[in-house]
C-alpha cells in the first residue's frame, strides 16, 4: 500500500512512480545492499513486480524519505504486516549517501512509528540489522527499539554475518513521546 499522508510529515512522503529509477540505482550499490539487503533482482520484470506488490499488498506500507524540498533520498517500509497481531517488520534505507548522518533516518523512522502505532493501531514493530551496522543500531536505539535476540543469517548471507533482532512496542513509544 502507498499511503496518501493527510498530515504534513517532515521526513516521509508518498512514493511516486518516478521514484523507482533512484531506488533501482541504489539497489546496484554494494555498500548499501550489504547493509540493507537487495530489493530487486536484475531483470526488469522483477522490479516492476516489486513495485506492483508494494502498491497493492495490504501487508506492505512504503514511503519515500525526503529532504526539506521533497527530494527522494531513500525509502522506508513496513512489511509482513499482520493486521490481526498488530505487527510489522521495518526496513529502511537512505540510498543517497550524502544524507547519511544528518538526522533523516531517525526522523523518518519516528514518523513511520507514529503512522504505525497512532494511525494504524499496530502494537509491535521489529527489524533485523547486521551486528556490525553500528550506525543503524544507534539510530534504532535512539528511536526506542531494543535488542531482543541474535539471529543467524540464512539464504545468500549464510555464514557471512549475524543479525540482531530488535523491536519496538506501542506502549514504549507512547512512554517515549510523553
Ligand X SMILES: CC(C)(COP(=O)(O)OP(=O)(O)OC[C@H]1O[C@@H](n2cnc3c(N)ncnc32)[C@H](O)[C@@H]1OP(=O)(O)O)[C@@H](O)C(=O)NCCC(=O)NCCS
- Contact set with ligand X (CB under 6 A): 32, 35-36, 74, 92-94, 100-106, 129, 133-136, 138-139, 142
Residue 84 C-beta: closest distance to ligand X, Å: 26
Which residue's CB atom is positioned nearest to ligand X? Answer: 105
Minimum CB distance to ligand X smaller for 141 or for 171: 141
Name the pairing type of β-strands 162-169 and 124-130: antiparallel
- Shortest distance (Å) from residue 94 CB to ligand X: 4
CA-only gyration radius of the chain, Å: 16
Nearest to 124 by CA among 177, 82, 71, 64: 82
Choose between 121 and 132: whose C-beta lies nearer to ligand X. Answer: 132
Burial 150-171 (b: 16+ CB within 10 A, else e): eeebeeeeeeeeebbbbbbbbe
Q: How far is the CB of 144 from ligand X (least distance, A)?
A: 13
- Closest approach, Cβ 146 to ligand X, in A, equals 15
Contact 69, 15 (CB under 8 A): no
Nearer to ligand X, 83 or 100 (CB): 100
Amino acid at each position: 500500500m502507498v499511503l496518501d499522508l493527510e498530515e504534513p510529515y517532515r521526513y516521509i512522503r508518498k512514493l511516486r512512480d518516478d521514484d523507482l529509477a533512484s531506488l533501482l540505482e541504489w539497489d546496484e550499490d554494494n555498500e548499501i545492499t550489504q547493509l540493507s539487503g537487495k530489493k530487486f533482482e536484475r531483470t526488469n520484470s522483477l522490479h516492476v513486480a516489486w513495485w506492483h506488490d508494494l502498491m497493492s499488498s495490504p501487508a506492505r506500507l512504503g514511503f519515500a524519505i525526503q529532504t526539506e524540498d521533497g527530494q527522494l533520498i531513500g525509502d522506508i517500509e513496513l512489511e509482513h504486516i499482520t493486521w490481526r497481531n498488530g505487527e510489522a517488520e521495518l526496513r529502511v534505507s537512505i540510498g543517497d549517501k550524502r544524507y547519511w548522518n544528518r538526522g533523516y533516518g531517525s526522523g523518518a523512522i519516528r514518523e513511520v512509528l507514529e503512522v504505525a502505532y497512532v494511525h494504524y493501531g499496530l502494537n509491535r514493530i521489529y527489524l533485523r540489522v547486521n551486528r556490525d551496522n553500528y550506525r543503524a543500531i544507534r539510530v534504532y536505539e535512539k528511536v526506542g527499539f531494543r535488542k531482543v535476540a541474535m539471529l543467524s543469517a540464512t539464504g545468500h548471507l549464510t555464514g557471512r554475518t549475524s543479525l540482531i533482532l530488535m523491536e519496538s512496542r506501542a506502549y514504549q513509544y507512547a512512554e517515549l513521546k510523553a
